[in-house]
């Protein structure tokens, strides 16, 4: 019994009856713990209990939806196992750990996968089914690929609708078998997803080796993404890598609306988490209107792209979903230029009727007499591109470019607050997008790559107009001219690049705006609640790193000696940074020119003090701080 007590915290409850009580905070399970478990399995009857669970079919399968960000709909469901409480397992992970030690992992995972397929089809769920399988099972010498394929065939579920989530929490002992089985499954159309990216063993090397169609980012890397710039930039890099490799990104464990909005803005393809639906035996099959609105908010245009989609709107006739085919056909015959008719359910677009589809139907034998009295809902395209006028032009372009070319059309629907307002043409979108890209490129600072004066002013005007509360921070370097004069402009450029990188590291791209006015002048529009802490870190980082850009002898002396603006020789201390900040409360009325005059005055006053500093004022009340 003493031996059992040493491993009690690693065992599920049924193995502990009449033995010991587990501690309040269990230790993580390791391979050494498994070796101890294996010695206890036989005596405690775990093997028989697992076999009984499989035979009795008492493990429930629940489903959690995946949300398609582009189409604002449910893309598919992940199947998750829930052991019965009577079995003594608090979580399926406990059961899998014991199954591994009891040599029942293969039979258990295969049982769960087949049961998931059966339940998925029994519930008549749409979209794709995501099933978790481990490398231990897929690489097991006794794993039979045809068992999985036969289960799909028996349920009439197309192979292309199954997604295998490879849960690589441990390295397989048979990598060649694993790869062979994956190849056999994928050649039949089954899709591979890399689960828990950035956790366990699922890193870049596995991404490179497996070449998955889908990559799921672990919740640990997403939590707080709306507040933490480093996580934001990490996920942005992963999304970019996925686009270049042809993979789609799933953000799992999304719980907050603020996180969802940021992830949509970053271009994540699918969202999963309690925010959109908890795992359930009978899961949701459609999104609530408030969740659709949330997805729209996340895809709203950036400050410099507002109203661009509105310029694409072309008024066009539409039909209701109950309209008969003969009436729709008459509309096409009456206008030879009419190629598409949006189909509405009340004010909401639900599809598009294409001219060529009706023409082909009516040209077929008995096509007209058999169908003319039927509703247009029988023939309409149920998956058109639908975009709100407030959506980002960049996101709309990406949505259209990523459409399956076999189902591609050059007309899309435009809405205003989800209600139909007109159509847009692909050629107009391409022309507008190209023009906007050229315009934005013209206004980037050539050295730092940050937005210049035009986008800075546009963003400032937009935030003022919208009543957004923010803090305007003006960053300016002290004694920067001395560096240029003494070392030359190339050394000065290195100083500016250092400052630009520090400012990027301490601003959140989803909440804040960073611009480069020119020279050593930068502007930040902060909405991050911890902006004062970020300013303090900016000062600390700059003061710590700037010395490395001086020559070693000058570092020892602590100054450089060159001429001042009057041509007189002078000793200049190391370059420092002045941050002038002005708080603009939400809905406080002030003209942008007045705002910039106020911040310039604060900066001028602050620069009278030596060394790096932050000087802060507010548009209302007494100065909250001055340092």
Could you tell me the CATH number of the domain that includes residue 157?
3.20.20.450
468 and 606 together in one domain: yes
pTM: 0.64
The answer as to whether 331 is a domain residue is yes
DSSP 451: B
192 and 70 together in one domain: yes
113 and 262 together in one domain: yes
Please list the helix, strand and coil fractions of the chain in percent, rounded to the nearest 5, in that order: 45, 20, 35
The answer as to whether 239 is a domain residue is yes
602 and 475 together in one domain: yes
- What residue ranges in 134-173 does DSSP mark as E strands? 162-166
169 and 250 together in one domain: yes
CATH number, residue 590: 3.30.70.270
253 and 132 together in one domain: yes
CB of 472 closer than 8 Å to CB of 191: no
462 and 596 together in one domain: yes
194 and 76 together in one domain: yes
121 and 215 together in one domain: yes
Host H or E run for residue 290: helix 289-298
Residue whose tokens read 């045809």 = 146
Of 367, 399, 434, the residue that ends a domain is 434
CB of 589 closer than 8 Å to CB of 463: no
pLDDT score recorded for residue 36: 45
CB of 253 closer than 8 Å to CB of 223: yes
The answer as to whether 165 is a domain residue is yes
pLDDT score recorded for residue 305: 54
332 and 400 together in one domain: yes
Nearest 5 degrees, angle CA 322-CA 328-CA 332?
A: 160
Q: DSSP secondary structure string, 552-611?
A: HHHHHHTEEEEE-TTS-EEEEEPPEEEEEEEEE-TT----HHHHHHHHHHHHHHHTTSSS
pLDDT score recorded for residue 77: 97
pLDDT score recorded for residue 61: 95
The answer as to whether 52 is a domain residue is no
The answer as to whether 195 is a domain residue is yes
pLDDT score recorded for residue 15: 38
The answer as to whether 240 is a domain residue is yes
The number of beta carbons lying within 10 Å of the beta carbon of residue 604 is: 12
The answer as to whether 439 is a domain residue is no
Domain of 15 in residue numbering reads as 1-44
Domains contained in the chain, number: 4
332 and 290 together in one domain: no
The answer as to whether 626 is a domain residue is no
356 and 407 together in one domain: yes
Nearest 5 degrees, angle CA 379-CA 385-CA 388?
A: 130
pLDDT tens, residue by residue, 9-65: 333 433 333 333 333 333 444 444 444 444 444 535 778 888 888 888 889 999 999
Which residues of the chain, if any, have pLDDT below 50?
A: 1-41, 43, 301-304, 625-627
CATH number, residue 410: 3.10.580.10
């Amino acid at each position: 019994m003493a031996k059992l007590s040493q491993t009690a915290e690693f065992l599920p409850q049924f193995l502990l009856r009449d033995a010991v009580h587990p501690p309040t905070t269990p230790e993580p399970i390791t391979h050494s713990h498994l070796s101890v478990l294996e010695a206890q399995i036989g005596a405690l009857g775990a093997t028989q209990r697992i076999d009984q669970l499989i035979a009795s079919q008492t493990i429930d399968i629940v489903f959690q939806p995946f949300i398609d960000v582009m189409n604002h709909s449910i893309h598919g469901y992940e199947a998750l196992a829930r052991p019965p409480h009577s079995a003594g397992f608090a979580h399926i992970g406990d059961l899998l750990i014991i199954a591994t030690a009891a040599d029942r992992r293969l039979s258990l995972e295969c049982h769960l996968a087949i049961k998931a397929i059966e339940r998925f089809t029994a519930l008549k769920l749409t979209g794709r089914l995501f099933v978790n399988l481990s490398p231990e099972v897929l690489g097991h010498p006794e794993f039979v690929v045809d068992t999985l394929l036969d289960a799909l065939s028996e349920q009439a579920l197309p192979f292309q609708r199954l997604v295998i989530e490879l849960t690589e929490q441990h390295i397989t002992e048979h990598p060649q078998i694993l790869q062979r089985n994956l190849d056999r499954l994928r050649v039949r159309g089954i899709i591979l997803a890399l689960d828990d990216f950035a956790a366990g063993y699922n890193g870049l090397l596995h991404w490179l080796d497996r070449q998955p169609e889908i990559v799921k980012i672990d919740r640990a890397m997403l939590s707080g993404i709306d507040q933490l710039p480093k996580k934001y930039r990490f996920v942005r890099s992963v999304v970019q890598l996925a686009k270049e490799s042809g993979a789609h990104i799933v953000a799992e464990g999304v719980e907050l609306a603020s996180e969802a909005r940021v992830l949509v803005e970053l271009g994540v393809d699918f969202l999963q988490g309690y925010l959109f639906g908890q795992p359930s035996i009978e899961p949701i099959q459609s999104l609530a209107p408030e969740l659709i609105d949330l997805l729209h908010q996340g895809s709203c245009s950036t400050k410099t792209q507002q109203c661009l989609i509105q310029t694409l709107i072309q008024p066009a006739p539409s039909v209701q979903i109950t309209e008969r085919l003969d009436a729709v056909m008459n509309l096409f015959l009456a206008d030879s230029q009419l190629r598409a008719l949006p189909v509405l359910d009340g004010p909401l677009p639900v599809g598009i009727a294409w001219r060529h589809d009706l023409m082909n139907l009516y040209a077929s034998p008995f096509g007209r007499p058999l169908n003319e009295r039927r509703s247009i809902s029988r023939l309409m395209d149920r998956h058109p591109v639908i975009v709100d006028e407030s959506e980002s032009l960049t996101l709309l372009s990406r949505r259209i470019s990523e459409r399956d070319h076999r189902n591609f059309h050059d007309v899309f629907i435009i809405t205003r607050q989800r209600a139909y307002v007109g159509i847009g043409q692909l050629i107009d979108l391409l022309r507008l997008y190209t023009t906007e890209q050229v315009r934005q490129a013209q206004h980037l600072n050539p050295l730092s790559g940050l937005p210049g004066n035009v986008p800075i002013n546009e963003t400032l005007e937009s935030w003022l107009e919208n009543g957004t509360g923010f803090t305007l921070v003006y960053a300016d370097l002290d004694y920067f001219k001395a560096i240029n004069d003494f070392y030359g402009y190339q050394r000065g450029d290195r100083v500016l690049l250092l400052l630009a990188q520090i400012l990027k590291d301490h601003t959140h791209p989803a909440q804040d705006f960073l611009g480069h006015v020119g020279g050593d002048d930068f502007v930040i529009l902060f909405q991050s609640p911890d902006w004062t802490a970020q300013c303090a870190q900016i000062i600390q980082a700059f003061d710590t790193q700037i010395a490395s850009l001086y020559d070693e002898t000058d570092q020892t002396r602590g100054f450089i000696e060159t001429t001042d603006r009057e041509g007189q020789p002078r000793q200049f201390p190391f370059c420092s940074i002045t941050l002038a900040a002005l708080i603009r409360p939400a809905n406080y009325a002030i003209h942008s020119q007045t705002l910039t005059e106020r911040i310039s005055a604060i900066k001028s006053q602050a620069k009278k003090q030596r060394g790096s500093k932050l000087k802060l004022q507010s548009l209302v009340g007494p100065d909250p701080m001055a340092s």
